[in-house]
Amino acid sequence: MSFRLRVVALIMFIAVTATAATAWLTLQQASREFDRTASASAEQQALITAELADFARGHGGWDGVADRVRELSLQTGQRIQVTTVSGTVVADSDLLSGTAARGVTGPALLVDPRPTWQPSPKYGAPTGAKAVLLASFEYRVGLRLAACLTGAGIGVRLTGGDLGIPTPQPVVYSAQSKACEVAARAQVPGEIDRAFEAELRACQGQAVQALPCLQDAFSRAVGAYAPAQMRVHLGAAEQPRPPLPVRSVVLTAAVVALTAVGASWLLSRRVLRPIGALTAASARVGEGKLTERVPVRGHDELAGLARSFNRMADSLQRSEELQRRMISDVAHELRTPLANLRGYLEALKDGVLPPTPELFDSLHDEAVLQQRIVDDLQDLALAEAGVLTYQKTPLDLGELIATCRTAHAALASAAGVALTTEGTGHRRVLADPDRLRQVIGNLIRNALAATAAGGSITLTVTGDGDRHAVQVADTGSGIAEADLPHLFDRLWRADRARGRGERYTTGSGLGLAIARQIIADHGGTVDVVSVLGVGTTFTIRLPAA
């Protein structure tokens, strides 16, 4: 399977899995929310029945309950229908909201406005039968008071009285509320129901069941005066379960999945198109088409990879060109001496030239030159491959240049060139003395080739902190500025260095390339400064030991 297909498949799997999981969780959550809102919970049932019972107690009846039903329906989100025990509808939130009344479902909830009597814990409050008698009386008074206050538009609040039952009180006391209190007490007769009193005393005679007996007696006594019991239905039989948005969720999941697949395809295309171009270009470079390059777009990692490939191709092309030029230069360097050797040998063979010692010396010089070119090529190849061996030991650069001066003093004297040394103090480095003599000797020979009789060559040793330097400065013809960048190229020789006569033009053109590689292997550098007609200075810098 291709990389693109793997990327698309992976992203598609992740997108589809994540979308399906999200859709499933959404449907589950929606279903739970609907179930929670469609059916009344136990807390809602208790809240609705308690609020309706308090309404009847606080208003002395069920007049005006429709407004309270509307408020509770909006508060709980439930459809509420209040009916009498016989089934007469008193209030219905469907009708109150302006819609058709739906059918009811489930068992009806009973709302009993009668309070349950509880012994009052307050100090000094009457207890037992006396408390129940007083509570019965006060309850009837409270009903009349609540009805009067409500009719007068005065707010009513229920408070826990001293007799163990909720007692209605006006929210704001006024003359009108006082008049309602007086009228309520006047409307309730104060005679004691003897049968009720006897029943209460009988309850007190029961040791364990005294409290339940008193509570039952109280409920029966106030039942004739209390607001009627009501039935409450919550919910609707025809209330359809709203359809869950399965289609929308599935459609959304499909759109998200397709979007993810499309995005992954575009992403893979964005990633793989440059890679494909790099692969094709690499194949063409492998076939030898070193001019192949890839376009660079943007500044991301792929653009960096394309730039790296182009740099690699440039390097390969330069290396190929250098190799071809080197082969051409080597062939050029060897062709003329070999042709000369062949011509002289054929002339000797045919008897055209006499075999004189001078001729044999010339032929020997040509053979030595070819041997030197071959040896230099081998040294350069070994140095560039990193396998040229070095025997590094601590040495003093002052002693080294003195040795080099001694070795080339005769050659300089024969050319009429003064060869001197300068430098004080010990300048010690860790290097291979033979290889450094080879480098400095090459620079001295090049300087001799470029310096006319009467000129000078100066070998100088200096120190610069953690690096020491050796300078080979001559007063020769100098090197043109345009030639300086090519000075260390293989088989390159400035034309001015060839004009000194045959004695000094026997170089291979590889000496400076070998010198630079040797110095680089020692952790140093070689620099050159030259002015035409003034002279040339080569500076070798090496780490101090």
Same domain, 215 and 108: yes
> Which of 168-177, 254-263, 490-499 is predicted with the least confidence, judged by mean pLDDT?
490-499
Model confidence band, residue 59 (pLDDT cutoffs 50, 70, 90): confident
Give the 3-state secondary structure of 412-455: HHHCCCEEEEECCCCCEEEECHHHHHHHHHHHHHHHHHHCCCCC
Beta-strand ranges (E) seen in 181-272 are 230-234
- 487 shares a domain with 343: no
Side chain identity, residue 457? I
Q: What is the pLDDT of residue 459?
A: 95
Do residue 122 and residue 224 come from a single domain?
Answer: yes
- Residue 295 resides in a domain: no
Per-chain mean pLDDT for the chain: 81
Instruction: List the structure tokens of 370.
Output: 């070819």
- Domain check: are 203 and 247 in the same one? no
Q: What is the pLDDT of residue 504?
A: 37
DSSP letters along 481-545, please?
A: GGGGGGTTSTT---GGGGTT-GGG----S-HHHHHHHHHHHTT-EEEEEEETTTEEEEEEEEEB-
246 and 163 assigned to the same domain: no
Would you say residue 462 lies in a domain? yes
Residues 205 and 246 in one domain: no
pLDDT score, position 418: 94
Is residue 374 assigned to a domain?
A: no
Instruction: Tell whether the model's pLDDT for residue 497 goes beyond 60.
Output: no
Which pLDDT score is estimated for 503? Answer: 35
pLDDT digits (tens, 9 = 90+) for 9-24: 777 777 777 777 777 7
Residues 12, 61 within the same domain: no
Phi, psi of 469 (to 5 degrees): -135, 145
377 domain residue, yes or no: no
What is the per-residue pLDDT across 126-154, written as a single tens digit (0 to 9) for each?
667 787 888 888 888 888 888 888 888 88
Provide the domain limits for residue 534: 389-543
Per-residue confidence (pLDDT) for residue 241, from 0 to 100: 54
pLDDT of res. 451: 93
CATH of the domain at 443: 3.30.565.10
For residue 465, pLDDT beyond 90 = no
Residue 501 has pLDDT above 50, yes or no: no
Q: What is the pLDDT of residue 436?
A: 92
Percent of the chain with pLDDT over 90: 18
Residue at a domain's end among 355, 373, 398: 355
Task: Give the CB-side neighbour count of residue 82, counting CA atoms within 13 A.
Answer: 27
pLDDT of residue 505: 44
- Give the distance, in angstroms, between the CA of residue 78 and the centroid of all CA atoms in the same chain: 49
Same domain, 344 and 308: yes
Residue at 259 is within a domain: yes
**In this structure, is residue 380 part of a structural domain?**
no
pLDDT of residue 203: 82
Highest mean pLDDT among 43-47, 181-185, 293-297, 428-432: 428-432
Q: Is the pLDDT of residue 425 over 60?
A: yes
The reported pLDDT for the residue numbered 507 is 56
Averaging pLDDT over each range in 21-35, 97-111, 300-314, 449-463, which range is the top one? 449-463
Q: Taking each helix axis from N to C terminus, what angle separates 246-286 and 301-350, rounded to the nearest 10 degrees?
A: 10
Do 432 and 345 lie in a common domain?
no
Indicate whether 275 and 305 sit together in one domain. Answer: no
Residue among 41, 29, 33 nearest 78 (CA): 41
| pLDDT score recorded for residue 498 | 39
pLDDT of residue 397: 92
Same structural domain for residues 180 and 57? yes
Residue 464's pLDDT band, with cuts at 50, 70 and 90, is: confident
The verdict on residue 291 lying in a domain is no
Domain count, the chain: 4
Please check whether residue 86 lies inside any domain of the structure: yes
Mean pLDDT of 427-437: 91
Residue 411 sits in the same domain as residue 462: yes
**Comparing 77-86, 149-158, 363-372, which segment has the lowest mean pLDDT?**
363-372
Asked whether the predicted pLDDT for residue 495 surpasses 70, the reply is: no
